[in-house]
Amino acid sequence: MKRVSTIAAIALAAVLGAILPMAALLYVSWSRAQVAEADRLERTAERTLQRAHRAYEGGLLALRKLNQAALPACSPEHIRLMRSLALATTSAEQVGYFSEGRLRCTSWGPADALVPEPTPDHITADGAAITLGVRPAAGDGAGTLLSVQLGGHDILMDPERFIDVIAEPNVRLAVATPDGRLIAQQPIGDPELLQRLLREPHSGHTPRTLHATAQDQEWLAIAIAPRTGLLAALQQQFWQLLPLGAVGALLAVAGGIWLSRRRLSLRSELATAVRRREFRMHYQPIIELDTGICVGAEALVRWTRADGTQVRPDLFIPVAEETGLIEPLTDHVMDLVLGDMRDLLIHDRSAHIAINLSAGDVSSGRALKVLTGKLIGTGIHPQQIWLEATERGILDIQAARTSLAAARRAGHCVAIDDFGVGYSSLQYLQQLPLDALKIDKSFIDSIGTHSATSPVTSHIIDMARTLGLFTVAEGIETSAQLAYLQSRQVEFGQGWLFSRPLPAAEFIAYHEHRRSQYGEAPEDMQNPNTLRE
């Protein structure tokens, strides 16, 4: 059943792994499409602004030439110059001359009709007067034009010249004065949006459109496009990124398949290893910090495959817990420890070996019954076998309290392992019958640093002292860490500063060497339960 669950979970992970890259691809494609469309509209607005400038500056140049010519007003020479400049200026339709408030002549000839000088709608920074909606006094008179007047002359221009820009078919353009007076526009389906942009120029989008503006002190250019253009941009971006997304999806699926096969292979290998009892033990020495005496060790299970490769405990222990193999593995560990350490423990009654319990064994108390049976006839005292439970492994605190209390009554010392990475509360500790508290390596690493966890170490030590527990510091690696722990009266420690985990024979030799070098262990270590009685 667990195999099926594992396969289903990994298959689901593989499917999600395939879907997520494609979903991310769509999201990135959509984001890039929006950015691309916005950039496109902004560039179009900028080009429209430049086109308006070119049209205006072409007319302004013609007016300056006329004002500098100093020809007799409306003379044949004057009219010929106006006509030639009107023809030479691409955006010009007609050039006129005003005097005493009325039109005197145009590039077509003398003006017969009484045409008053127009009232400007806008004055540019160049001093030119802009008048909107002017009808020509000569010519065919079709439509309204834009008048640009400088001095006594004006030039009539087709406003469409200001938005004569090559753009995408769905883009609509408009040009206005900076104060929002519309000069020219293409048909825009959202007049309300156009009015808002004339009042408050900005770039952005609405549920139906994208828009961009560009402006300076002379002109305001507006570009508007429907959001339907995003779909084409989305498709373009999607197809550009599809190879990357496909590779990501394939890698995710391949990774899921690889993980599935590895996980299932590891499960199968582990079951075989447990059945064949392929494990061995290493022992991490535990040192009394004040004296340097080796008082015992923590038993650490190791798995070496038949081909000689090592499998890390952080890989196979979780699999053993998931598959129910942790119980026979724990039983095998007990056999190995009792076999490896029997002579040492009988010879040195102050020594102890700590065995780690799984979450299931802490809740059920099964391991205690098994251990009690295995100790019969070995000559090893119960108090020489410590039992360690991890903080995170205690899921049912009521059941854990019952089984741990039974272990203490049987004479075993009970320690909470890796303390600080789980609940870490005084109330939590008070509910459990404990003798020792082992401070997790991550907090020992923070000693002497300015990390956020640095103050926690002293807090854990104070909690242990308040509850009458002795403390064991894990992962001691530097002399500075040792000095700090000694200054805080931490009783015991383990770590590479003293020794790496050792095979049984090497640990026994190490233990004997420390004992001959530093002397016997204290009496309290022979019956650790007395520390909390």
- How would you classify residue 519: left for phi > 0, otherwise alpha for psi between -120 and 50, otherwise beta? left
Q: Measure the CA–CA gap between 70 and 68, rounded to whole angstroms.
A: 6
CA distances from 452 to 77, 455, 462, 485 (A): 90, 7, 18, 18
Between CA 417 and CA 424, with CA 421 as vertex, the angle to 5 degrees is 85
CA distances from 170 to 37, 412, 484 (A): 12, 83, 74
β-strand partners of 122: 130
Beta strands, E only, 30-135: 92-99, 102-106, 109-110, 122-123, 129-134
- Residue 244's pLDDT is what? 55
Element (H, E) at 385: strand 385-390
Q: Please list the ranges in the chain whose pLDDT falls under 50.
A: 1-3, 6, 238, 241, 261, 523-533
Q: Measure the CA–CA gap between 43 and 181, rounded to whole angstroms.
A: 22
Q: Measure the CA–CA gap between 290 and 483, rounded to whole angstroms.
A: 10
Q: What is the CA radius of gyration of the chain?
A: 45
Cβ within 8 Å of residue 471, ≥6 positions away: 436, 437, 438, 439, 460, 461, 464, 465, 490, 491, 492
Q: Residues, the chain, total? A: 533
Give me 474's structure tokens: 């894990």
- Residue 525's pLDDT is what? 47
Q: Measure the CA–CA gap between 522 and 345, rounded to whole angstroms.
A: 15
Q: Measure the CA–CA gap between 481 and 485, rounded to whole angstroms.
A: 6
- Residue 16's pLDDT is what? 53
- Residue 112's pLDDT is what? 82
Q: Exposed, middle or buried by CB within 10 Å (0-12, 13-18, 19+), for 68?
A: exposed
Q: At what angle do helices 326-347 and 504-518 cross, to 10 degrees?
A: 40
Q: Measure the CA–CA gap between 374 and 366, rounded to whole angstroms.
A: 13
Between CA 240 and CA 249, with CA 244 as vertex, the angle to 5 degrees is 130
Place of tokens 């000569």: 138
- Residue 454's pLDDT is what? 66
- Give the dihedral sign, CA 142/146/150/151: positive
Gap between the terminal Cα atoms of the chain: 46
pLDDT (tens digit per residue) in 251-310: 665 565 555 545 557 787 888 888 888 899 999 999 999 999 999 999 999 998 877 888
Query: Is the Cβ–Cβ distance between 98 and 152 less than 8 Å?
Result: yes
Query: Is the Cβ–Cβ distance between 495 and 444 less than 8 Å?
Result: yes
Q: Measure the CA–CA gap between 267 and 6, rounded to whole angstroms.
A: 10
Query: Letter for the amino acid at 53?
Result: H
The helices-and-strands tally (H runs, E runs) of the chain is 14, 22
